[in-house]
Amino acid sequence: MKHTLFIVSTLLVLVLYGCNAPRETTAYTNPVINADAPDPSLTQCGDDFYLITTTMHLMPGAPVMKSKDLVHWEVASYVFDTLNDTPKYDMEEGTVYGRGQWASSIRYHNGKFYVLFSPNDQPYSSYIYTTTDPSAGNWELVSRTAHFHDASLFFDDDGRVYVFYGTGSLRELKPDLSGVKEDGVNMQIFGRDEEETGLLEGSHVVKHNGKYYLLMISWPKGEPRRQLCYRADNITGPYEKKVILEDNFAGFPYVGQGCLVDDKNGNWYAIIFQDRGAIGRVPLLMPCTWTDGWPMLGDENGRVPAAGEIPLKPHPVDSRIVESDDFDSPVLKKCWQWNHNPLNEYWSLSERPGYLRLKTNKLVENLYAARNTITQRMEGPMCQGIVALDLSQMKEGDVVGFSAFNGHSVLLSIKKEEDETKHLTMSTNVVELSGKEKAVLGVEVEEKEQVRLTTDIVYLRIDCDFNLNRDIATFYYSTDNRNWIKIGDEYKMRFDYRKLFMGTRFAIFNYATKEAGGYVDIDFFDYQVNNSK
């Protein structure tokens, strides 16, 4: 009897403890990714979440990030290595600055992942890719089809497939995604009402409890950007509208454009981006609460939370979205992206093991026309990048360096002169692009300071402060990586959608102005982020 009572008591304690045991949660602070990752689209498969964002003219493109807790993210793969629709992707006959891959939609359906995106450039047609495992990459092109602006791919319960796009447009695709279904749905499900101005855009759709929910953003006349939701009982409507988020979080401007996702436990969340000046457009994480059948975003007051907890076990990741690199690996880390399509024969990790070698190729006059510029994001609130360069194999006229790269850039550039001397110059560079072809018409250069270098080994450093009302970059050089000398002035970084339409990036470059064939060896890129405010 005593044994029976002991067993019963033990089981009761275990049951009570299990019911009352603290649940593991993952703490977060906003922005959950403090870096340029605009136009987020999310999908969920089992324990895993996958997030795709926009990188436009950068290659490889369409980065797919992976997380198990919605807080710790790493790059799983890129959907494509290059795009080749026009010579502009190779910086011939123009460029695709601010164009290329725009807002993408990622979906998991019947054991496969799908991505749809429409480049904002000729020939104005969409790409649809698929894979069974985003972490393995191996994305395969399914089809090229009609152009859909800021589209949301949607697989309905009855096996039919749709695309929501533009300002309330709906188009049905063939079940195999090979193209549009000619006799399928093709209609405007709603239009802009008298309260809205300009485009409604950023479509993201979910189905919940039998209803269709379409998230979009708008700029009502005289009011800030906001997140809308349109809902309907039938996919073709009629739709009713509600504002589900309107907030200018943390002193920065409007929050808007993003998506919803649920976890395996039935909890709902949203990731919505916010424009934050020079760093770009950063994702914010927040709860989603279904209230009277509407997905209301933010805390109990409808505000973006500065911090919170996700009721999922923490899963730190092995790699970061931005990180250091000593170039010891035979392949580039996934944090790197090239400016436009790279020329693969002009860079190497094997010719000098432990170094990234950048070789000059075609002759150009400025950084914006140079091939094989390699870049990484910057992160807020403060960060620092240091690059170590071996300049011994430069040719006359070569320009090597490190940049806070955007439409308004600052360059630390080293040029080899006719008399074999090398000069380091800190200069501002502002590009002028043509409206149609995005051709580089010219670059306004203002030199701030120049020094002569007497060594072939040099270290260049950029410190960035993206705190509210700052966006300041400062610049340094060293010959020993210990004693640093400031060069030039502080620079107010800028985000300009009319030029590159991206957050400021670290960029390492090497281009020829007189004769191809020189090269620079990069020993390391050292990166640090500082969360001080």
* Residue 231 counted as domain residue: yes
Q: Are residues 348 and 306 in the same domain?
A: no
For residue 289, how far is the Cα from the chain centroid? 27
Quickly count: other Cβ atoms within 10 Å of residue 522's Cβ: 23
Q: Are residues 240 and 342 in the same domain?
A: no
Q: CATH number of the domain at 110, please.
A: 2.115.10.20
Q: What is the pLDDT of residues 160-213, one digit of tens each?
A: 999 999 999 999 999 999 999 999 999 999 998 888 887 799 999 999 999 999
Whole-angstrom Cα distance, residue 50 to residue 64?
6
Q: Are residues 129 and 234 in the same domain?
A: yes
DSSP string, 6-70: HHHHHHHHHHHHHHHSPPP-EEEESSSS-B---S-EEEEETTEEEEE---BTEESEEEEEEESSS
Q: Are residues 225 and 372 in the same domain?
A: no
Residue that is last in its domain, among 264, 294, 310: 310
Q: Are residues 41 and 172 in the same domain?
A: yes
* Residue 324 counted as domain residue: no
Tokens of 68: 């198990």
Return all residues near 9 (Cβ < 8 A) that are at least 6 apart: none
DSSP string, 61-117: EEEEEEESSSSS-EEEEEEES---SSGGGGTSSS--TT-SB-SEEEEEETTEEEEEE
* Residue 41 counted as domain residue: yes
Q: What is the pLDDT of residue 308?
A: 97
Q: Are residues 116 and 173 in the same domain?
A: yes
Tokens of 353: 């093991």
**Which is nearest to 168 in space by CA: 220, 136, 203, 135?**
203
Number of alpha carbons in the 13 Å side-chain half-sphere of residue 339: 29
Q: Are residues 191 and 301 in the same domain?
A: yes
**Which is nearest to 380 in space by CA: 472, 480, 488, 465?**
465
Number of alpha carbons in the 13 Å side-chain half-sphere of residue 161: 19
Query: Within the chain, which residues score under 50 in pLDDT?
Result: 1-21
Q: What is the pLDDT of residues 117-132, one digit of tens each?
A: 999 999 999 999 999 9
**DSSP character for 301?**
T
Q: Are residues 306 and 347 in the same domain?
A: no
Q: SS3 for 278?
A: helix
Q: SS3 for 345?
A: helix
* Residue 1 counted as domain residue: no
Residue holding tokens 């796009």?
165
Return all residues near 458 (Cβ < 8 A) that are at least 6 apart: 388, 389, 391, 414, 424, 477, 478, 479
Q: Are residues 236 and 353 in the same domain?
A: no
Q: Are residues 67 and 170 in the same domain?
A: yes
Q: Could you tell me if 357 and 351 are in contact, meaning their C-beta atoms sit under 8 angstroms apart?
A: yes
Residue holding tokens 């790279």?
342
> What phi, psi does 20 have (nearest 5°)?
-110, 5
**DSSP character for 363?**
B
Percentages (nearest 5) of helix, strand, coil residues in the chain: 5, 50, 45
Q: What is the pLDDT of residues 302-331, one digit of tens each?
A: 999 999 999 999 999 999 999 999 999 999
- The model's pTM is 0.94
* Residue 384 counted as domain residue: yes
Tell me whether residue 157 is exposed, middle or buried, using C-beta atoms within 10 angstroms of its C-beta: 0 to 12, 13 to 18, 19 or more. Answer: exposed
Q: Could you tell me if 137 and 50 are in contact, meaning their C-beta atoms sit under 8 angstroms apart?
A: no
Q: What is the pLDDT of residue 221?
A: 83
* Residue 128 counted as domain residue: yes
Residue that is last in its domain, among 275, 310, 345: 310
Give the CA radius of gyration of the chain.
25
Q: Could you tell me if 118 and 106 are in contact, meaning their C-beta atoms sit under 8 angstroms apart?
A: no
Q: What is the pLDDT of residue 10?
A: 38
Number of domains the chain contains: 2
Give the strand order in the sheet containing 211-220: 196-208, 211-220, 226-232, 240-245
Q: What is the pLDDT of residue 533?
A: 64
* Residue 317 counted as domain residue: no
Q: CATH number of the domain at 432, please.
A: 2.60.120.200
DSSP string, 160-188: -EEEEETTTEEEEEPTTSSSB-TTS-EEE
Residue holding tokens 């300049």?
391
Q: Could you tell me if 174 and 187 are in contact, meaning their C-beta atoms sit under 8 angstroms apart?
A: no
Give the domain extent around 171. Answer: 22-310
Q: Are residues 82 and 201 in the same domain?
A: yes
What 193-199 contacts at long range (C-beta under 8 Å, 24+ apart), as own/partner pairs, is 193/241, 195/220, 195/221, 196/220, 196/221, 197/221, 199/166, 199/167
Tokens of 187: 């209609």
Q: Could you tell me if 290 and 208 are in contact, meaning their C-beta atoms sit under 8 angstroms apart?
A: yes
How far lies 120's CA from each of 85, 139, 279, in Å?
11, 21, 22
* Residue 331 counted as domain residue: no
Q: Are residues 272 and 375 in the same domain?
A: no
